[in-house]
Amino acid sequence: MAKVSLKKKPKVRAPVRRRTGLAGAPTDSWNGFKYYVHTEVDPKEIAKITRDWIRKNFKKESSFLLSGPAYAYTLFSHVAATIHWQEINGEFPENWDAKRCLDSFVERLREQCSRKASSAADSDAKALPSVSPAVRMQRKTDNFIADVEGVIDEFPDTFESDFNMYNELTRIEAAFATAKAVYEKYLPLQEELRELIEDKPSDLVESYGMMKINQRKKFKAFVDGIVSDAEKYMNKKRAVRQVKPKVRTADKQVAKMQYAKENKDYKIASINPVSIVGAQRVFVFNVKYRRLTEYVSNSSNGFEVKGTTLQNINMEESNQLTLRKPENILTVVQSGTAREIRQKINSLTTKPSKPNGRINTDTIIMRTFNK
């Protein structure tokens, strides 16, 4: 009788579950590890790494250092990455000063904890005289700028940052004055960096000697974003200010008008549509088709509105253009004079077309002029 060979059935292994969070971080290089922590690790886990490190290394003042605002422990992912990379005895590249990174973080954290404690003490001191709204506004602005200073100081450590000025101003519902203070504070720094890169004066080159040319450009781009976003936020606050109706029926004329109140992609907001009634010139922008339209009235009484359509339009002088790069002109439309806007439009090579006068939910009402 022939022997029958019995083959063993291969063992079926259970699928290995993909490791996530910090446990799944690559450890073959510092840059890869740091990027993974920045993009894949949850803020709660980043906060835990940072807080545990504070408890371990600052036992005497840990209670104080752990009393800061919640965002102070999650905003800088590279700090958590530096802490963990040290704990696993990872090797840092020559251009990464881990000690400076952590010392700077602790110094800034002390300032944030002190401000929070001072603010709490002020609110508890009922016997003290009440603070005027102007003083409260100034304090809030000073605290915000102090936090921005910390972000800018940290930027040369990595020449990377996910900080977004427009989003931060929106998050705290900042007043126009706060955005203006930020804009005016960093405008000189923006100009200094422009001179450094374009004109290269010897004194500035020496001052920024620790940065390579490409790092200087990254630093300038970061500051450009801060200044630009502050200006865009200012324009947004101007646009949403209340406007009193020019005539009694103006609010009724625009009651059924449908328009886009705000667009976050272009960081623009509509002005009050009541401003259209009686105006001689109106600029609107269709965010879906990137069309900028200039309406000119043919009546001495200005525009009127019927439903969602403008009335009294001079079709000979009214035009619309499709913008290839809307960001380059929208800021001018928001804050420039009618002449400056006209000069900017005339510099474009796009062929104009005639508008239809209708306003819809994709339309941002940007500016009105009385002449």
**What letters, b where the CB count within 10 A reaches 16 and e where it falls short, cover 161-186?**
bebebbebbeeeebeeebbbbbbebb
Q: Count Cα atoms within 13 angstroms, Cβ side, for 288.
A: 7
pLDDT at 250: 84
Helices (H), 247-288: 250-253
- pLDDT tens digit at each of 371 positions of the chain: 455 555 555 555 545 445 578 888 898 888 888 888 888 888 888 989 999 999 999 988 888 888 888 888 887 888 999 999 999 999 988 888 889 889 888 988 888 888 888 777 666 555 445 678 888 888 888 888 888 888 888 888 889 888 899 999 998 889 999 999 999 999 999 999 999 999 999 888 888 888 899 999 999 999 999 999 999 999 988 887 766 555 557 888 888 889 999 998 889 999 999 989 989 999 999 999 999 999 999 988 889 998 888 999 999 889 999 988 888 889 888 888 888 888 888 888 888 889 988 999 999 999 999 88
Distances (CA, A) of 212 to 147, 204, 279: 26, 13, 52
pLDDT at 10: 56
pLDDT at 3: 53
**Phi/psi at 114 (nearest 5 deg)?**
-65, -45
